[in-house]
Amino acid sequence: MNKDFYISLIAKKLSNELNAAELKDLSTWLSGDKVNDLSLNQFKKTWDLTQDYKSSLSFDAGTAFQSFASKYEIPTAPKIANIEPKSKVGVKRYVLIFALLMLTSAFVGSLIFNNYFKNSNSNNVSNTEMHAQTFALNDAINITVAPNSRFEKGVYTIQRKDSDVNNGQSATNASKLNNSVGSSSNVASNTNVGSSTNAQRNTKFQSNTNVGSSTNAQSNTDAGSNTNAGSSTDNYSVENFYGQGYFDVNVPNGMKAAKIEIEDNRYIETENATFNLQNYEEDDFSVIDVQTGSVKFVAGENILNVTEGQRLIYNEKSGTYKTVKLPELNPFQWHKGVLVFDNTPLDVAFTNIERFFGVNINVADNSSFDNKNFTATLYKASNLNDCLELLSESVDMKIERLNERDIQITEIK
């Protein structure tokens, strides 16, 4: 027998794989020569040394869990005990996460949306509730809108990718239509667009009075086949969006990307993505956070691709932009009714509360905001009062709810 054979037996011995015959064989070989016995000892030492392989690598389970919970949108449990009043001097960290289950189901949201449109003569949609609302806009787009956010309903146009030459024309026409929803001339325009090619799949609403009626949505037989549109109760696009919205876009196979107009010459196109759009009037910038898929953001001459895990910050005034990684703090949780503060500066926290609940927070004296942050965990706080109560327990300040929507904060120490 050659030496390799016995090394194999040694390996088996170390792995507890030897059978009786092999053990006998190995024992004979080892006792035959001291060198062999030495050899076994050396292999044994080698075997023992390997036990340290990656053994002292450390993994921070706490931090990893935060990342895990954020990534997979798992509600984190409360740690109310961690919230302590702040002293006047020094910086303390406060932990406060408000997990609020406030959303109605997409089905209920859709019903509300329908009723809203059916009873309204306006193109404007505004979430006046104190919680987010989810709407199914059309076959391809679901949107969750934060309180005090608004947009205008437009014409939803979806086209096949293979509608080549006519596409440009159609797109142009569709764009014109989008800008003139509600006017009587839309009817003619729609007819023209739709009749240019049978390959197109156009779904449109011609006037305000028709909006919300699926029958009308499908009555434009010239618009080619409405098979894709036919399965949807509502067919609207988004235009002039202000506030915050979480979009879930899934365009049927073979169709062109859906277009979401933000304002002026800015819009988003995507075929398949979930993303968050912040476009508050009081801010100089728009923020797009892409959770899955990718989107194309167009602002005048700028065409920017934003992919999964990226945040685009676009400065409307200067026309500049930058793309960064998504922040560690999950920017998508709000649409599920979860509000998170993690070492968040107090002024930012107030803004987040305002936007989450659709309220106004008036701070009498903001000079003592400096170095006051929140980091934290709270589970299932169900409403604004709970939120304010916890806030007052966490920070030395006076909070007064003047009415349903107005909150006065004074004496921050």
The residue within the footprint of another protein, chosen from 2, 19, 58, 119 (CB under 8 A), is 58
Find the shortest distance in angstroms from Cβ 79 to another protein: 10
User: Pairing between strand 360-363 and 406-410?
Assistant: parallel
Per DSSP, the three-state class of 239 is strand
Instruction: Map residues 16-55 to x or -, x wherever contact with another protein holds by CB under 8 A.
Output: -x------------------------xx-xxx-xxxxxxx
Residue with tokens 């305002």: 354
Strands (E), 229-337: 236-250, 258-263, 266-270, 272-279, 285-299, 302-307, 310-315, 321-325
The residue within the footprint of another protein, chosen from 38, 68, 118, 283 (CB under 8 A), is 68
- Interacting stretch for another protein, rule CB under 8 A, among 14-22, 159-167, 189-197, 387-395? 14-22
Nearest to 391 by CA among 338, 355, 332, 341: 341
Residue 107 as a binder of another protein (CB under 8 A): the answer is no
Contacts of 248 (CB under 8 A, 6+ apart): 141, 142, 143, 144, 274
Contacts of 314 (CB under 8 A, 6+ apart): 266, 285, 286, 287, 288, 297, 299, 304, 320, 321
Find the shortest distance in angstroms from Cβ 376 to another protein: 15
Tokens of 14: 């170390």
The residue within the footprint of another protein, chosen from 23, 38, 77, 402 (CB under 8 A), is 77
Q: Which is nearer to another protein, 65 or 320 (CB)?
A: 65
Residue 80 as a binder of another protein (CB under 8 A): the answer is no
Contacts of 3 (CB under 8 A, 6+ apart): none
Q: Which is nearer to another protein, 136 or 378 (CB)?
A: 378
- Interacting stretch for another protein, rule CB under 8 A, among 7-15, 89-97, 126-134, 223-231? 7-15
Q: Which is nearer to another protein, 61 or 81 (CB)?
A: 61
Query: CA 238, CA 137: separation in Å to the nearest integer?
Result: 8
User: Pairing between strand 266-270 and 258-263?
Assistant: antiparallel
Residue 4 as a binder of another protein (CB under 8 A): the answer is yes
Residue 305 as a binder of another protein (CB under 8 A): the answer is no
Find the shortest distance in angstroms from Cβ 85 to another protein: 26
Find the shortest distance in angstroms from Cβ 65 to another protein: 5
DSSP string, 112-144: HHHHHHHT---SEEE--SSS-EEEE-SSSEEEE
Q: Count the site residues for another protein by CB under 8 A.
A: 38
Contact 157, 204 (CB under 8 A): yes
Find the shortest distance in angstroms from Cβ 26 to another protein: 13
- Interacting stretch for another protein, rule CB under 8 A, among 66-74, 134-142, 143-151, 363-371? 66-74
Find the shortest distance in angstroms from Cβ 36 to another protein: 14
Find the shortest distance in angstroms from Cβ 100 to another protein: 14
| CA neighbours closer than 13 Å in the CB half-sphere of residue 251 | 23
Nearest to 382 by CA among 101, 75, 81, 77: 101
The residue within the footprint of another protein, chosen from 2, 19, 34, 59 (CB under 8 A), is 59
Find the shortest distance in angstroms from Cβ 94 to another protein: 20
| CA neighbours closer than 13 Å in the CB half-sphere of residue 229 | 29
Chain contacts with another protein (rule: CB under 8 A): 4, 7-8, 10-12, 14-15, 17, 42-43, 45-47, 49-59, 61-62, 64-65, 67-69, 71-72, 74-77
